[in-house]
Amino acid sequence: DQRGSGRSRPLASDPDADLRANTTPHLIADIEALRELRGVDRWTILGLSWGCTLGLAYAQTYPNRVNALVLGFVTTTSHREVQWITEDIGRVFPQEWERFIDAIPGHLRHLRPVEAYARMLADPDPIVRDLAAREWCTWEDAHISLTPGHAPNPRYQDPELRLRFARLVTHYWQHAAFLDEDQLIRNAAKLNGVRGVLIHGRFDISGPLITAWRLSQRWTTCRLQILDDAGHGGGNRFVPTVIDALDELASF
């Protein structure tokens, strides 16, 4: 499990958890340690959304350890993407974004929304932390709501899970995944020779298609598959498309 989540300890929902040792380079090292522990020479990576960012970062660090990648809901967690999903997209969901911003107390309004929420989620007052986690997850549900068949995520009803989730997301987002701006796009050529399939929905307003397209222009051995009826929450064709991609790459 990723640091701070699942069976990993301490959980990010613990207000005393120190997240300074929870960065993308730390996670890359964890993945490589797992590969060595399991005695795997080369493996195929499947990553969705944040998992796409992490999978790309790992593969660009250890390209010789990767057979292939299947990446869906393609994101690179750049500053530009974070600004879009926490600020600019408010033009599409003005009512929901107003609620998202109104939850930020006045003394934090000078900060970027992602930074303000990160502060609130680390507040010593559990009431402040719970409010921030609840409003963050409400916003998450709002901006993926264009996905056909969307329903609010039932996991967000769990106070501990939503606090853990929101704290980790804001921690990584406020630091643009601890990567240089556009690093994963600029370094995509490191993966030339590694086969990949990028799967992205045209209705994915949370992470617009441009990121997947830019990545595909620099990574010459990947294929971009656009699902015209899918958003960031998937769609009826998403899972079968992922399975088909895995089967396709397994044949090489």
Going by C-alpha positions, the residue among 224, 223, 233 that lies closest to residue 203 is 233
* Last residue within a domain, chosen from 178, 208, 229: 178
Q: Is residue 15 part of a domain?
A: no
Is the pLDDT at 243 greater than 80? The verdict is yes
In this prediction, residue 151 has a pLDDT band, given cuts at 50, 70 and 90, of confident
Can you tell me the mean pLDDT for 221-247?
91
Query: Which residues form the domain of 143?
Result: 82-178
Residue 145's pLDDT is 86
Residue 147's pLDDT is 75
Residue 82's pLDDT is 98
Residue 27's pLDDT is 98
Residue 221's pLDDT is 98
Residue 34's pLDDT is 97
Is the pLDDT at 129 greater than 80? The verdict is yes
Residues 227 and 150 in one domain: no
Q: How many domains does the chain have?
A: 2
79, 143, 171, 232: the active-site residue: 232
* 108-126 confidence digits (pLDDT tens): 999 999 999 999 999 999 9
Report the share of the chain in percent with pLDDT over 90: 89
* 42-71 confidence digits (pLDDT tens): 999 999 999 999 999 999 999 999 999 999
143, 175, 200, 204: the active-site residue: 204
Residues 97 and 167 in one domain: yes
Residue 204's pLDDT is 93
Residues 48 and 124 in one domain: no
* Last residue within a domain, chosen from 146, 178, 210: 178
In this prediction, residue 229 has a pLDDT band, given cuts at 50, 70 and 90, of confident
Residue 152's pLDDT is 86
CA distances from 204 to 57, 158, 217, 235, 243 (A): 22, 26, 19, 11, 20
* 232 counts as catalytic: yes
* 171 counts as catalytic: no
13, 49, 78, 206: the active-site residue: 49
Residue 31 amino acid letter: I
Residues 73 and 86 in one domain: no
* 163-214 confidence digits (pLDDT tens): 999 999 999 999 999 999 999 999 999 999 999 999 999 999 999 999 999 9
In this prediction, residue 15 has a pLDDT band, given cuts at 50, 70 and 90, of confident
